Structure 1
Amino acid sequence: MELELETSPESAPFLMFTCGSVTLLPVIDIQAFALLPTSSDRKPLFQLRVVELMEAIFNYYALHTLYTSLNELLALGGQP
């Protein structure tokens, strides 16, 4: 049986900039469905509310990618 995952935001993410860090707190729901082999119907299996894992992923990305890009752009006086 095939499995389908559907993600959706529960609300707008909370984004906070402080000296030396960025905090992004997304609240995301992930719902799993079993795809029934005899029809196009799907049966709900479970739903997860994901915050801490997504926050860690986004914060890592911000620290290692966004900060670097923003610092380079600011060093050029804001001109790409």
Structure 2
Amino acid sequence: RLGLANVTAVHSNVFDFLPICKEKFDIVFADPPYALEGLDTIPDKVLGAGILHPGCWFILEHGDEYSFTAHPNFVKERNYGRVHFSIFEA
């Protein structure tokens, strides 16, 4: 539908997936439950797992109770009401 080639969609718990992932991606999108324990650790875990090609993006959907603007890999944030998307660059 988007006309994209070589797209892989993975629906998994991020904490279970990262230790077993052997692939590298250009974009990783995470939409965890907003009340997920450890949500604030997800950017460091994803960026530290080596699953992104250099210069590529990790996008985290989260509620407005979190702010990742001080994270060293933070690029920008988009807000849609109480829904926030923080974008990080590998």
Regarding TM over 0.5, the answer is no
Q: Which has the larger radius of gyration?
A: 1
Larger % of helix: which?
1
TM-score, normalised by the number of residues in structure 1: 0.23
Structure in which a larger fraction of residues adopt strand: 1
